[in-house]
Structure 1
């Protein structure tokens, strides 16, 4: 594609107060009118919160732990990113239309932008939240390698933007808080990345209960193994290595970078941390949500 340069590193565009990729904004009506099916399972996260990990776990559950079946295609084809529309490269809405039920659907949209058909059809949803400091660091590295994002600038500049909600998909604070509130009224299983790291087996069992599925212990153990960071990092159908270098440059930073809790300590200065914590307390003071920033 000759006009690749025209696609990448463009400024984000405001959609109802939320900064999104320009190409999503241009095709917003297509996203907004997306027709969910009653047996769709929505996987919702703020970016860099374990999206690919939970997607792989769920695809393994849907395929009864058959790892070979889960290598049938790249994760972004098995679990389409609904709102991602990039001219000539990707259209999540179209991908999903052509998929057989039951579908796994990925989104990073905040609650207020989610197509209304998901609420109307009372779809089951799984939300994964990760502590803000690790998300900020992971997102900074992702911005560098994934070229649909604008240039990230320095870490200091990026952190300020993150705190102000001027990054793709908007404010982390609003995102996690609003999905947390929404779980009171809809079938939403709200999970934490840190719990997944600490006890992945327990989380898989929670998922099975939520999905009303029974599985023998050895299948659960298989899912546990195939969804581990080290195995997924080596798996081309899970690690995004099949995406072109024009879109994602793994030599800048691998898509699956560290997958740990507490990496923020290697990035934040003392002053940045103090400023961040003060801002965080103010923004999260009215919420019952609590996060662990290391385990």
Structure 2
């Protein structure tokens, strides 16, 4: 039995690199928002995540973990190639490249930038509501 095709908009959130997504992704007309985070923050986050999950089996210190990370020897890598794929596409049509830190520094500007990218017009009140909801989390 075939599933019916959906014609409405949908959101797909992933940590996968573009090489593992459909090859026609950039030709399909969909809009892609790529958010990259400071590598230092990513490393610290991954380090504690790997220590937290016993299934990861990591029991070393941060210095040792850094060596694994920079050599792409831990889960969710290759990080560097992943970011480079996004950076190299940052000027393509229907592609928005954002830095996580910039989004946190000026959330209202980020909300406006994303809504404009998605061809949506938001009132100042709507921006404020989104900003307020984001602050409550």
Q: Determine which structure has greater relative contact order: mean sequence separation of CA pairs < 8 Å that are 6+ residues apart, divided by chain length.
A: 2
2:50 to 139, 143, 148: 143
Gaps of 5+ in 1: 1-96, 233-295
- Report if the CA contact (8 A) 1:110-1:169 is conserved: no
- Report if the CA contact (8 A) 2:107-2:131 is conserved: yes
Match of 2:127 in 1: 220
CA distance in structure 1 between the partners assigned to 2:6 and 2:59 by the alignment: 38
1:131 aligns to 2:38 (yes or no): yes
CA shift for structure 1 position 139? 1.2
2:87 to 180, 185, 192: 180
Which residues in structure 2 correspond to 1:1-295 (within 5 Å)? 101-146=8-53, 150-154=56-60, 155-228=62-135, 231-232=136-137
CA shift for structure 1 position 146? 4.4
Distance 1:98 1:136, change over 3 A: farther
Greater helix proportion: 2
CA shift for structure 1 position 186? 4.1
- TM-score, scaled relative to structure 2: 0.84
Distance 1:105 1:193, change over 3 A: same
- TM-score, scaled relative to structure 1: 0.42
CA distance in structure 1 between the partners assigned to 2:121 and 2:9 by the alignment: 17
CA shift for structure 1 position 184? 3.1
RMSD: 2.2
Gaps of 5+ in 2: none
The secondary structure found in structure 2 opposite 1:152 is: coil
- Report if the CA contact (8 A) 2:112-2:122 is conserved: no
Number of matched pairs: 133
